[in-house]
Structures are given as C-alpha cells and as structure tokens.
Amino acid sequence: MTALPVITPASSKFAGRETLQGRSVDLADNERIGVLMELVGDLSRLTEPKDVLRVFSEGMRELYGVRGYISLSTRNLNPGEYRITRMLTESGGALRIHTADPWSVINTLPIHTGGFFGEIIRSAYPQLIHHLNVHNDPVVGNALAAFGSLMAIPLFDGGEPLNWAITLDKDPEGFSVEELEETILRANLVGGTVKNTVITKQLREANDRIQREIDQIARIQRALLPDKLPEIPGMRIATSYETFDRAGGDLYDFAVLPSPPDGPTRFDGWLAMLIADASGHGPAASVLTAMLNTLVYAYPRHGSGPGAALEFANQHLHAKRIEGAFLTAFLAVYNPADRTLMYARAGHNPPLLKNPGAGGSVTRLEAVGGIPLGVADSAAYENATIKLQPGQTLVMYTDGITEAMDANRRMFAVEGIERALEICSGEPQCSIESINAALKEHQAGVRPSDDQTIVAVKVD
C-alpha cells in the first residue's frame, strides 16, 4: 500500500503525556493502526471498483495473514440463483484471483444453483462455520478444501441482501463471534465503497461521453461560421466570437446573393449579413442556431427582402414547437454599388452606426423591429432602408455584450458599446478591440454568463 502522510502517535506532542482532558495513550508500537490508516487512505483515492477489493484484501492479509475471499451476487436473479463474482484462494503460497473485474463482465458470468454456496444464500443472515469440510462441491469442486473456517456476510443494497462476502481461514476455528460482529459492519461499509466507486466510474464515463458529444456539437456549430470573411470592394469586415461554453448559441454569417434560376433580381450581387442569438447557451442553443442557418439558406423567394426571409424562418421554427426556445436575429442586405442597406430585426438589439474618426457620433438602427423567431406563428417583420455614408461603420452584436455584468451586477449595456466606439477610429478591428477592452475592464474578472459576438463592417 502507498504510505499515507499522517502524524504518527510517536511524533505527537501529546503521546504519553498528561493533559487537562486526561492522559494520552501512546500508540506508537501499534503496527495494526498504521496499517489501517494506510488502508483507508489508499481506499479514499481509488477510482476503479476492482481496486477497492484488491487494496482491501491486501490490507486484511497484512493484518490477519493469508486468507481466502469469495464474493457472490444474487442481483437480478431468481431465488436460489447466484453468480461467483470474485474468488481469491491460495494457490502455491500466493492468492489467485479467478475474476479480477466482475463489474465489467457480470452479465457474462455463469449463474449457479445449489452446492455449498446455495445453502449459504438461503438465509439473509450472517454465518460463522468452524471445522469447515467442503470437498467435491458441485459448483466449486475442491476450491474450499484447504480452508477450515468461514464467515459469510450478506451485503445490503437498498435494504436487500444482493451480495455476499465470504472470508475463509485455514484454522478450523479461525474466526470468533466478535470478529464476525466487526466484519458485518466492515464488509457492508466496503461494499458501499465499491458501489459508490462503481457509480462514480459510470458517472465519469457518462460525463466523458457527454463532453465528447458537446465538443462535436461545438465543432459543427463553429463550422457554420464563415471560414473566411468575404472580400467586397469598398468594404472591410472584422469579427469577434467568444462562447460562454464550448458550444455556443450565437451565429453570424455572410453570403453574396446569387442570381435565381428564373433570372436576375434587384439583390443580385448584394451582400447578405446575419447575426443571431439563441435563447440560453450550450448545445441546445447551438442546435437552434444551426436550424436558423439552414432555414435562411433554404429561403426560396428571391427579391422579397430580409423581412420576408425572417418570416419564413419564424414559421418553420414555430412549427417545430420547441418549447421555451427562441432566437433573436438581425438580417440585412447591402448593395456595394450605392451603399444601400436594407434590414429587418427579430427581437435583436439594434446595430450601431458609427461615424468616422475618434469622437464620431454613434446612432442606433431601430427604425423597425419585431418579436424573436419561434415565438408566434403570425409574426411579421418589416424592412427598413438606409444609405451608408463613406467611412461609416456598422456594428452588430449579441446581448452577451450588453448584458455582461460587473462585480456590482451592473450591465455593460448599449451605452458601454457606444462609449467604446466613440473613442476609436471606426476601423473594424479598432472598433472590436475598443469594445472588448472596455468590456474586459467592466467585467473585471467576472466570468461572462453568455456568448459574446461582435461584427463590424466599414464602408469606404
């Protein structure tokens, strides 16, 4: 066993001394207490159920000498049936383990009836047997022939004796009633430790599987983001995307609108820009943004404007009846030829328009709005049109920015973004860096509680 770093009685300043409470007993020469302390320390660190019994058996052998150990299970079996889940018997002076890890293969272990162990499990009561004489048993043959005494302890789970711990000794009277009494409690405590270790291992493995799935969802969700920003004459773009968890619920995208199959429309060659935010965060929010991304690309009617596209997405999202879930979105189309921007808004924070240069004013694009997507079937979303001036910067963001809290639970708010934009040049990267710097100072070490996305677009 691994040495446990504890203060031994010999090193204690109270060993053998009088105190106000009484006289401390010197335990320095008691080697068994040292063994027990090492044993419980080792048990507390184990993560594999098979190791719990191994370490416990080693400790018991060190305390009591070489003994045999057998565990039986009646879990999910008919009355009188049992499985031998573990058997440690002496073979050539060493203990031989017949089943090293029963928890991983328990359903493949043979089911037995009758024999010596069949008599043992007939009663859910401990048994102490001296002058043991078991030869040619129909189930275990002569595996018990070398042993002269036995203790059989039922191990309870949920009030039922579903397992048995059987300890064997060569001495025909190797166990006392007092030892039986002690072992009843000790064996059930160890059985509880094994059970808890099994559950902990199962939970750890389940959590690992879940985390792998979340990582996969996060990879898929990030794949929805543009792998590179579009290169549009007279336009510069910068983005910032930070998720609260590994999988995020924010989305942004760009697409140059193509000509439809039935001929050109007024939006041919225009740049579509989308920013969206699903309610909540994590894997569920990622699924919602993926659905919206698919619906926007599947929108079949060309030339109807961003409002109609949001209505199309809303109808399909609402039809899925995803209870309690919704998305906010801002969708715009931009004409590089004359700098015309047409936009619609579904419950999303209004983007900001920054005039060029430090000190340049900031206005909010809030001429139109609407309820979030997926809330109501008949929601309508109007279009608004504005002509951008040379040097202006359009800044889109999600509420993870505005709702970020400081240590006093004050929100960064839209005003925090506006102040950060007023002091920067308006270049897309400068705009993002200024907002993020102000946001970091505002949060002052407070962990964000939502995804945070910024998209900055400047026109020349």
For 301-327, how does the pLDDT look when each residue is reduced to its tens digit (9 = 90+)?
Answer: 766 789 999 999 999 999 887 777 899
Q: Which residue has the tokens 């275990």?
A: 140
CATH of the domain at 292: 3.60.40.10
Q: Are residues 173 and 229 in the same domain?
A: no
Helix (H, G, I), strand (E, B) or coil at 113: strand
Q: Are residues 74 and 191 in the same domain?
A: yes
Indicate the pairing of strand 340-346 with strand 393-397: unpaired
Q: Are residues 50 and 177 in the same domain?
A: yes
CATH of the domain at 58: 3.30.450.40
Q: Are residues 192 and 306 in the same domain?
A: no
Residue ending a domain, choose from 138, 170, 202: 202
Which parts of 336-419 are beta strand (E)? 340-346, 352-354, 362-364, 384-387, 393-397
Of all residues in the chain, what percent carry a pLDDT higher than 90? 39
C-alpha span between 306 and 304 (Å, rounded): 7
Q: How confident is the model at residue 403 (pLDDT cuts 50, 70, 90)?
A: very high
Residues 6+ apart with CB under 8 A from 225: 241, 251, 252, 253
Q: Are residues 192 and 235 in the same domain?
A: no
Task: Please report how the helices 177-223 and 49-64 are oriented relative to each other, as an axis angle in degrees rounded to 10.
Answer: 150
Q: Are residues 337 and 249 in the same domain?
A: yes
Judge whether 253 and 224 are in contact, CB under 8 Å: yes
Q: How many domains are there within the chain?
A: 2
> For residue 71, what pLDDT is reported?
86
Q: Are residues 198 and 228 in the same domain?
A: no
The verdict on residue 39 lying in a domain is no
The verdict on residue 157 lying in a domain is yes
Q: Are residues 280 and 379 in the same domain?
A: yes
Q: How confident is the model at residue 455 (pLDDT cuts 50, 70, 90)?
A: very high
Mean pLDDT of 208-214: 76
DSSP percent split of the chain into helix, strand, coil, nearest 5 = 35, 25, 40
The verdict on residue 351 lying in a domain is yes
Of the candidates 239, 242, 289, the one whose C-alpha atom is nearest the C-alpha of residue 452 is 242
The verdict on residue 230 lying in a domain is yes
The verdict on residue 14 lying in a domain is no
Q: Per-residue pLDDT tens for 166-196?
A: 889 999 998 899 888 877 777 666 666 666 6
User: Is the pLDDT confidence value at 265 over 80?
Assistant: no
Residue ending a domain, choose from 202, 233, 264: 202
User: Is the pLDDT confidence value at 261 over 80?
Assistant: no
Strand order in the sheet with 340-346: 250-256, 271-278, 327-335, 340-346, 384-387
C-alpha span between 163 and 105 (Å, rounded): 16
The verdict on residue 215 lying in a domain is no
Q: Per-residue pLDDT tens for 46-71?
A: 666 666 666 666 666 666 665 788 88
> For residue 382, what pLDDT is reported?
95
User: Is the pLDDT confidence value at 251 over 70?
Assistant: yes
Q: Are residues 258 and 351 in the same domain?
A: yes
Q: Are residues 246 and 144 in the same domain?
A: no
The verdict on residue 9 lying in a domain is no
> For residue 94, what pLDDT is reported?
40
The verdict on residue 432 lying in a domain is yes
Residues 6+ apart with CB under 8 A from 195: 157
Domain containing 92: what range? 46-202
What tokens appear for 376 in the block? Answer: 């109501």
Q: Are residues 444 and 383 in the same domain?
A: yes
> For residue 95, what pLDDT is reported?
41
Q: Are residues 414 and 267 in the same domain?
A: yes
Mean pLDDT of 389-396: 96
